[in-house]
Structure 1
């Protein structure tokens, strides 16, 4: 195991040790945003009948072949069809039917002329009226054919597709009221540290509130997982070992924060090594060099640093992709754009640095990245006010204002193409 690996190597390593979870069946509305676990077919033709695309008059197109403003063709309105109604009577030459949007097109006619371009000669345009057409129409004009969107037994959503809100409507129209999707991973969130207290408590001297668990649980939920915050674990090997043993038996993925370095009270690495297989301990990134990953009893265990920003960046770059893979997603990287630095940025650390900050546009519409003034790894507030992270590559080369930088968009999902 290398002492320190790249971010890309770390992500690939984690992804190689997680699998897509089994399928489950959910209600149609709960399928939004999920990944289809099987091909889904329609039970009927959609639409099951030819229908009008707008309010108008259903006619024989050939009767209007020579219609013009100088020689309009007049017809008698013999019936009216609303959406949900059916007209099965005859429609003879010189006759038409008033029809509403979505109403079935009678077999006796083949075109619809929209209401606004038809002149009412007598009456009010309803049955018993006489109307005039001043232009020809084409066969099937303003008509939506039966089966236009889907045929019976046709696959309408393929396995691996992400079901979006429009897809939910499509499935509803095709009779798919329950949907097979890949299961969401159940993830245990564990904060390690004898100095931690619950956020509901006012810390006494030497104590701090447990903020990491809540940020990581929120991040897990944003990734589609089902997080559970477990009790704070004190800084002892025995307590952490017992907690990890219980967690891997009950959850699909375990994430800890704190105790990931090499201090006297940092135990996640030896615990994972003792209980299972340890694959990774350090990654070439800042913040968040100390990243522990292994497998215990078949369950992935990831140990994030205790510093808030380091934990957040590690989760975003390494844990989030794994949780997405487990749900059947195939895109694991947030979209990136190139921006110019708003001001000089010095670099002394040779690791790859993830600068938190804001992306905006200048007067010309070009992207500009403004790093947060305080890049401390102990701050959540900076990330709250950031919408991206800019990458400063490995090495010690500083960057001047106007230099291009690559920015990872934190508020855009992986499937979005820019």
Structure 2
């Protein structure tokens, strides 16, 4: 674990606040800024260092936090027009963990309302724009988290992912995004103890090393969270020094590579070649059930969201986001038989994937298989195209990571997604670190920030 900081916490906070002043009017990545609180917290950390007390492994790291996590003294909106907590009374579990590790939170990140869209075009808090192309979506639902990291507003961010909400914006904004295994991170995010079945929190960062640092700080059993798993956690990082010798990587022959944009496919194939050069064993694989996953996943996830947020549909029409309405209406229409059949399919699907991971360690694919859409209304089919490679992982509860692997000719980032077996999160982080040690895609900057 890296435990050094090159500058003081206050210096890093003021750099972030300066970037907020410069770039936030263009990208709208934040809902709330914690300027005074962040400066005060950073000074306390720096005073500890001056007194010979080490603040923790995240000292020097600045964060933004998706606005569905409680940060004490700050509103929690979940992207809505109202605040669930006008002023949160305490930090949720993962926020307490990162603060104890020495990180400073600069603000609450913009998100799709109720985490219901892949676009992060929020009718209440403004559409989050992609720093790589201000006419393009940042992706959702954790778009503000990814855009803020890409614009150097913060070192990293904490997002959440139900069906690609960390990995999609990570890919579209050229940053790293990890969806952890179900049960690794606490899902107690707000004063409400209810949480979507397939949702997990996770880190976004410019580098895989920083993503690993943040993940390991949050990764702990929470006995007060019924979704938290009490199991040994491996925090060993190879930091890429040994390459990827012996890592068995599968390239899907079905579904994941179908209909992929030609430039994205070329970049992903080149990245697979790099992984092979680093010592990984590359083989073709068939991912069983991938073609049918969305058919069964979508009814379950939308029904779950309707159970959580269905009262939204009773609000005045002028307060409603059409994308949220579409998702919740679909959830309301799911029958008990449809839900039960999907749940039964899920059991066999998970078993088949377990068998697949007996033969490989990781399988790879494009995170987003189409060019980054422009801002504006997206058809349902286009939203499904954006997210199509991101359903398998939440449905099975397994981890996946998106890492930058190139740029399209339009200047927009391309993401490589790696998926591993349950509880193999560190395998993904080590592979991502090794890839970034051998490439420079993660060092590229949007033209917006020079």
> TM-score, normalised to structure 1's length?
0.28
Bigger fraction of residues in helix: 2
Bigger fraction of residues in strand: 1
> TM-score, normalised to structure 2's length?
0.27
The structure number with the bigger radius of gyration is: 1
